[in-house]
Chains A and B, each alone.
Chain A
Amino acid sequence: MKYLDEYRDPDLAKRLSREIHRITTRPHVLMEVCGGQTHAIVKFGIDELLPVGIELVHGPGCPVCVTPLELIDKAIEIASQKNVVFCSFGDMLRVPGSEKDLFAAKAQGGDVRIVYSPLDALKLARDNPEKQVVFFAVGFETTAPANAMAVYQAKHQGVSNFSILVSHVLVPPAMEAILSSPNNRVQGFLAAGHVCAVMGYTEYEPIAKKYHVPIVVTGFEPLDILQGICLCVKQLEEGRVGVENQYTRSVRQDGNARAREIIEKVFCVVSRKWRGVGAIPRSGLGLREEYREFDAEQRFGVSQYSAEESPDCISGTILRGIKKPHQCPAFGNTCTPERPLGATMVSSEGACAAYYRYRKHQPQKDAAVP
């Protein structure tokens, strides 16, 4: 198969693992930003192929996990209204709000539907003019172009019964927030490959320089991640600092110009609250004035909601790489995928869910020399 099996080749994986062992002379802490990378690391057991000195901490790269509690509550409120068709990607449906999740809202009569693309939601709106169709626009920069396009088309085609509930966040401000925190332990980053496929990676250069951290744009298959780690460790060992691109088959330095164009047309940078982390200035996207009519929060009058997190959920410290899931007292007992306390346990990309699914009986990592 093209582009999959080759990047899961066990012999090449062992070779990369040996190389990483060879060049590592002292401990390093690396953070992978994207939830898809966390998922791959735990699923394929990549950290078992690393020397004991390399520690991988998991960043806030799961847009599902960082969507604030009150936004879930707003989504549920909108979805529960008569005449509303609420569309979302699959994993948002299980994220717990203050009282329940969107699946429960569906069971209680809300018209909640899973879609694969915001344009499917737009089509639903066109086909059902008597309904209000709302799309839960969650994601990092990766999903922003499609969401922007849906709103752009809605405006220019006069589909007035369509709106989006926006929860877009940006990666670079999150990285800066982590790096500027006094507890920060992260010394190198694996940047999110698909975010960079859209945005390019020039915006990481000032970050690498300012905080003196190597940043390697990395893909999602085992070999991508191992190679990304190898390049990052090499920089650290050699005392170099810079932005490198491991994911060359998908990422160019200036990203995808057309995608960035549509994002800039429809969205503007706003401050956003990150679940478990707090408010980060200029860290998200919101609709521009001329597209504000498609903002579901405004249309349904839910802008003023606020909510309290569960006191037992430490997903904030996990998202910042300060703690690991199995260090949480609730992990595996009061907090499980069936009854999650926080989003990191619900989303399949969340660190807690990944640990639970693949690791729950193994608290310690063993060093594996290939």
Chain B
Amino acid sequence: MNPLDAKKIDDFTMACPVPISDYPHVLLAHGGGGKLMHQLIEKMFKAAFNSGELNKGHDSAVMKISQDRIAFTTDSYVVNPLFFPGGDIGKLAVNGTVNDLAMSGACPKYLSLSFILEEGLPLETLWRVVQSIRQAAGEAKVEIVTGDTKVVDRGKGDGIFINTSGIGVLEHELTIAPQNVRTGDVILLNGDLARHGMAIMAVREGLEFESSIESDCAPLADLVGALLNGGVEVHCLRDLTRGGLASALNEIAETSKQSIFIDESLIPVREDVASACEILGLDPLYVANEGRLIAFVRPADQDNALRIMRGHPLGRDARVVGQVDNKASVPVMIKSKIGARRILDMLSGEQLPRIC
């Protein structure tokens, strides 16, 4: 869907404070540094994000951080369509950044937010995305402390591109990283796969499934916090984004120089998602997620970790899907549903739907 054709919203109780009737679309001037940009920042961004630091209007935000170690990450978001079942580019931007921080076991605190807007984007669309960011930031308990706005000529962007960086604090002493993965570690997954990728595909390709598949876009910091506070010795975490479970496992296996064994029959995929994958000839193990993580923990911590995860709304369906065994000469081996073993390789390029 062309983002410049986005429909009007009628589901917001809060009226957009920018005088949209004057300038219903983004103009180059909105990125020009003058009055129009100033108005956009004051009336739309600052009003929505309500951040003390942002409201100071300074070139950089200044925060006091009491911990020794901080986590720092950056990400860009170029998803098309801008809106999809279960989320939008704004929600994705906040949760994606929060999740990257959470994967070091950090408590996410502050986000920067940069917009690259395409000339002609309806301001109502931007307002909708901004509201979504505000809501997601509130849920994830992060503050948007600094930002930037640029506008590019019509045709040179996809409606909205977002870049973020995030800062989080490490309130524990563990080193949570692939280098810490040990032989014997069990691999826990917090829920079913492939929802996000298939939700996007469904909208992009105009496929209508009987049940609408919604993205699993969600902030995982709280779930990670529960594990750490519950005394689980977490060796490594990874959120499963582009490339899916298979890519994450391969990356960790290569970095940690271990080999991983996975049992396909233990991996949950919802029936409607699996059907959508089958129709398009896609493998759910390679499809994107936005609210799923894998945790590498000591076998002794397995039961406790599962109990904690299952007690959390984002981990109800948590389970063990495999183990680090260092037996094979390949990074990742998988036992198929009918019992035979094979290599689970990295994708080369993108997964392409099959012909027939």
Q: Which residues of A contact B (CB under 8 A)?
A: 1, 4, 8-10, 13-14, 36, 42-46, 48-49, 63-64, 89-94, 114, 116, 138-140, 142-143, 194, 222, 336-338, 348-349, 356-362, 368, 370
Contacts and interface: CB of A to CB of B under 8 A. Distances in A.
B355 interface: yes
Contacts of A92: 355
B341 interface: yes
A368 B342 CA distance: 14
B338 A361 contact: no
Contacts of B281: 348
B79 interface: no
B14 to A, nearest CB: 37
B337 A361 contact: no
Q: Which 4 A-B pairs have the closest CB atoms?
A: A45-B340, A90-B352, A337-B348, A13-B338
B352 A36 contact: no
A285 to B, nearest CB: 15
Contact of A357 (B274, B343, B349): B343
A193 B348 CA distance: 29
A308 to B, nearest CB: 25
Contact of A44 (B337, B343, B352, B356): B337
Contact of B343 (A49, A63, A348, A361): A361
B183 interface: no
B329 interface: yes
Given A46-B338, A356-B345, A358-B345, 19 more contacts: A10-B265, A10-B339, A42-B342, A43-B336, A44-B337, A45-B340, A48-B341, A49-B338, A90-B355, A91-B355, A114-B353, A140-B356, A142-B356, A143-B355, A348-B354, A357-B343, A358-B342, A359-B343, A370-B339
A336 B348 contact: yes
22 contacts: A8-B337, A8-B338, A10-B265, A10-B338, A43-B342, A44-B336, A44-B340, A45-B338, A45-B339, A45-B340, A45-B342, A89-B353, A89-B354, A89-B355, A90-B352, A90-B353, A90-B355, A222-B337, A337-B349, A348-B281, A357-B345, A361-B343
Contacts of A91: 352, 354-355
Interface in B260-299: 265, 271, 274-275, 278, 280-281
Contacts of A10: 265, 337-339
A89 B355 CA distance: 6
Q: Which of A36, A116, A194, A370 has the most CB atoms of chain B within a 10 A radius of its CB?
A: A116
B340 A48 contact: yes
B210 interface: no
A13 to B, nearest CB: 4
A93 B352 contact: yes
B352 A138 contact: no
Nearest to B342: A358
Interface string B313-333: 000000000000000011000
Nearest to B271: A1
B273 to A, nearest CB: 11
